[in-house]
Structure 1
């Protein structure tokens, strides 16, 4: 189930890397309070999205973990993964949070969390597949897709405001030159 959303997660990773950061943001006019406000809004929306991503994964994998034997290797793998996600939620610096997310994402892509090894899960392939595609878990994934859609909508609105400010500044600057 999560694999069908993998391209969306890759796109999200690229967008988050391009998002404004606390120490890497540049402004056309650093003294413009509106520009600074828009950058702060984009910064806050990116943090909210990352936290939503972490919470969705925590909810999803916690739902998987409770249906596994607590002594299984997969349950321990999931607990470690969830603990890293919880740690990332507590981080307040966007640059560090972004680094943590990319590291967690890289670790996830190399992990066997979505693969069944009966000796690690205690379940047959069919049982593990049913567990991963549980309707409650699908709801969590759908909720995350809505969070991503909301993020892109808000970022598009912020981008539109930035373009509008740039155009206004350009025309104001040109009209001043012609006077």
Structure 2
């Protein structure tokens, strides 16, 4: 489950690219509307990712001694995620996500170090795989599936718009 979560994070980074302009300089209002819709959907997905992580790590943190290093790391991580949610521009949000990833790559939030968590390996494993945490992860997987569906529909509209535009140019 933990590896699925991180795999989804990487996939999300790839998905951000799908909201980039398909044909820059192409001045078609419908095309621009579709690009805007794709960006909005990507922002929604990123916010869903951030909220899922906030919910997940809030649950983990609630079971840690608040004075441990891991609890402090998680609180800071949650603060950074909330800041990313507050950003509305896709490129800035994406940069913030990359910055958060860089900032916390040295802090093994999902790995147990007893001196940082105050828990044994088994206790931490049980904490990370609880039913509530599985439900949070499943909810995010559902959000990703919805995103793929919406982006497929938008892509279909882009292709349709492209061919309609070509037909208007060749058959006036």
Normalising by structure 1, what TM-score?
0.89
> 1: CA distance between counterparts of 2:51 and 2:86?
11
> 1: CA distance between counterparts of 2:105 and 2:14?
16
Kindly state the Cα deviation for residue 12 of structure 1 after the two structures are TM-superposed.
1.8
1:7 equivalent in structure 2: 7
> 2: CA distance between counterparts of 1:75 and 1:25?
43
Residue 29 (str. 1) matches residue 26 (str. 2): yes
Instruction: Identify the match of residue 64 of structure 1 among 54, 60, 67.
Output: 60
- Unaligned runs of 5+ residues in structure 1 are none
Please list the CA deviations of residues 36-81 of structure 1 after superposition, one character each: whole Å capped at 9, or x if unmatched.
Answer: 2111111111111111010000000000000000111100000010
Q: CA RMSD in A?
A: 1.6
Kindly state the Cα deviation for residue 105 of structure 1 after the two structures are TM-superposed.
2.7
Residue 168 (str. 1) matches residue 164 (str. 2): yes
1:158 equivalent in structure 2: 154
CA contact (8 A) 1:17 1:98 kept: no
> 2: CA distance between counterparts of 1:47 and 1:97?
8
2:39 equivalent in structure 1: 43
2:19 equivalent in structure 1: 19
> 1: CA distance between counterparts of 2:103 and 2:155?
32
Kindly state the Cα deviation for residue 13 of structure 1 after the two structures are TM-superposed.
0.9
CA contact (8 A) 1:72 1:120 kept: yes
Normalising by structure 2, what TM-score?
0.93
> 2: CA distance between counterparts of 1:6 and 1:29?
36
What are the residue-to-residue correspondences of 1:119-138 with 2, within 5 Å?
Answer: 119-138=115-134
Which deviates more, 55-64 or 97-106? Answer: 97-106
CA contact (8 A) 2:15 2:42 kept: no
> 2: CA distance between counterparts of 1:66 and 1:157?
40
- Unaligned runs of 5+ residues in structure 2 are none
1:139 equivalent in structure 2: 135
Which deviates more, 100-109 or 35-44? Answer: 100-109
Q: Please say which structure displays the higher CA radius of gyration.
A: 1
CA contact (8 A) 2:80 2:100 kept: yes
